[in-house]
Amino acid sequence: MFKKILIVIGSLIGAILILVFIAGIIIMIKVDKKFIALQMSNALNRQVYIEKIDVSIFSIVSGIEINKVAISNFKTPRELALLQGKPVPANDLFTGMESMNFKIRFLPLLKKQIDLKELVLYSPVINLTKNKQGVLNCDDLIKSKKQPDDKAELEKKKKAEVKEPSKPLSADDIPVAITVGEIGIKNGTINYYDGEYDQKFQVYKLTTLAYDINIDPKELGKEDEIKLKLGLGMKTVGAMKSGSVQSFDITLDATGKVIPFDVKTRYLDPEVILHIAIPDGEITGLQIFNSVAAIPLLGDYLGQYISFLKGKQQWKDSKETGVDVRYKANKAELKNGRLDLKEAKLLFDGAVNTDSKALDMNMDMVMKKDINDGVKSALAKKIEAAIKSPEVKKYADSNQLAEAAMQPLLNKEGQIDLKLKVGGTTKKTNTTLVKPQLDSLSTVVKKAAGSVATQAGKQLLKGGEKKVLENVQDLFKKK
């Protein structure tokens, strides 16, 4: 009995080795750089050049490595025929990469399971452009290649679409369980040019990996997850000519996961959960900051200590700056948001509709305590200038009035603390001051001055001076 078991096991191992050997021979014979380049060229309608491909009889186990790949912009069939086997010119490069590794596990295929060990692009460079008419240089890859030949066919297609709307992808449409070890990009660069606004952007040091991917339609409650790692730098090349910010250069690192299918409906409805750290950054002209700086009362109270928001904001090596994001169905929920600036700490949470760009956020701005003396000094000067009567100036100390005016702004730690509500859209932001509820500076000055002068008057009541004190509020003019 034991011998029979060994024979069966040996036979299975032998059969598997034979299959691996045969598959390796097929790959070695069929898969070379000309074969791969031709297949890619026909599929993409682009000139493809591969410098080297490492493939052997054991590639079914060890994987395939493709080195120095270059892909051009769109080419007609006639152009492709003429360019076959030639290097892609640098000024016509759509994308290129140092190498690509592809490894798939063989045994799970026998069980009707896809187990991809690795599919990673190393140091890819992607050049995206959009012309003045809004056409991307990759639109032919995104849009359907099959277009109706005439109006009758177009009308027929429209009617068919009305009668039979496209069905969302369901987990039940996947015939096999999918397991992927690692797929993504390491150290990539994306250059983007927007011809409509004559604007350039760049994503640099891009590393984005989806790993430990497990999707099993039969066990969707347990196997429906994609883990994510993301790291990149992103910047404008030249100042922005429109939009919600003038310029930026930030780096971020994100970790989290994607839940591709809704367990209840079983339809593809991705939910993304991420913690995003933003250790370094530089932003100029952010609309939210501009709208805060434009609140008149804050300008009266804080002057230059709030107008700094209109300028360049920088932070470096921050361990606290970041936000937790949950995204689903065009809505991004933000929690535990924090941004550490030189002058202030910003805490925020809320939601952004990625379709309408609508904002609904709460923001808490806590200013650094070392600005208090500067704010008080500036307020004292404004108050001094607001007091027109020489008689009142005898009893009203502008420094005491400035200190009284500042009290509503301070939290328990003695820091200026502003609570704000942010609405509108990312391009047209509306920001209101929720707390503290401030009177106009002239009103605050009148109330505070009246209190100070009244107390002084109790000690110095003399003839005509009493009359001055009784009418002190009428002697202050609005700035």
Can you spell out the DSSP letters for 152-188? HHHHHHHHHHHHSPPPPPBGGG--SEEEEEEEEEEEE
How many whole angstroms separate alpha carbon 12 and alpha carbon 58? 19
* The pLDDT of residue 10 is above 90: no
* The pLDDT of residue 282 is above 80: yes
Q: Give mean pLDDT, residues 177-206.
A: 89
Break the chain into its structural domains and give their ranges.
285-368+415-438, 380-410+439-475
Return the half-sphere exposure (C-beta side, CA atoms, 13 A cut-off) of residue 203.
20
Which pLDDT does position 8 carry in this prediction? 37
- Low-confidence winner among 12-21, 58-67, 150-159, 183-192 (lowest mean pLDDT): 12-21
Exposed (0-12), middle (13-18) or buried (19+): which is 186, by Cβ within 10 Å?
buried
Report the 10 Å Cβ neighbour count for 68: 15
**Per-state percent for the chain, helix, strand, coil, to nearest 5:** 35, 40, 25
Q: At what angle do helices 398-406 and 372-386 cross, to 10 degrees?
A: 120
Pick the more confident residue, 94 or 334.
Answer: 334
Most confident range, picked from 119-123, 252-256, 304-308: 252-256
- Picking from 338, 354, 343, the residue whose alpha carbon sits closest to that of residue 279 is 338
Write the CA distances from 57 to 28, 29, 65, 467, integer angstroms: 6, 9, 13, 107
CA 188 to chain centroid, in Å, comes to 17
Q: What six digits make up the tokens of 439?
A: 């009177």
Q: Give mean pLDDT, residues 321-330.
A: 95
Which pLDDT does position 51 carry in this prediction? 85
User: 375: part of which helix (H) or strand (E)?
Assistant: helix 372-386
89 upstream amide cis, omega within 30 of 0: no
Tell me the sheet residues that pair with 50.
69
Pick the more confident residue, 270 or 404.
Answer: 270
| 3-class SS of residue 16 | helix
Dihedral sign from CA coordinates of 394, 399, 402, 406: negative
Dihedral sign from CA coordinates of 142, 144, 150, 152: negative
**pTM metric for this prediction:** 0.75
| 3-class SS of residue 413 | coil
Tell me the sheet residues that pair with 95.
71, 126
Cα three-residue angle 384-390-391, rounded to 5 degrees: 115
Q: What six digits make up the tokens of 57?
A: 């009889």
- Give the type of residue at 167: K
Hunting for tokens 């692009």 — which residue is that?
121
- Dihedral over alpha carbons 56, 57, 60, 61 (to 10 degrees): -90
User: 60: part of which helix (H) or strand (E)?
Assistant: helix 59-62
| 3-class SS of residue 238 | coil
- Low-confidence winner among 43-52, 136-145, 296-305, 366-375 (lowest mean pLDDT): 136-145
Report the 10 Å Cβ neighbour count for 116: 17
Structure confidence by residue, pLDDT tens digits, 222-274: 999 999 999 999 999 877 766 667 888 999 999 999 999 999 999 999 999 99
Which pLDDT does position 399 carry in this prediction? 83
Beta strand extents in 27-92 (DSSP E only): 46-54, 64-74
How many whole angstroms separate alpha carbon 117 and alpha carbon 104? 5
Most confident range, picked from 80-94, 168-182, 247-261: 247-261
Hunting for tokens 């591709």 — which residue is that?
260
Pick the more confident residue, 53 or 377.
Answer: 377
Q: What percent of the chain has pLDDT above 90?
A: 32
Which pLDDT does position 178 carry in this prediction? 84
Exposed (0-12), middle (13-18) or buried (19+): which is 117, by Cβ within 10 Å?
middle
pLDDT band at 123 (very low <50, low <70, confident <90, very high): very high
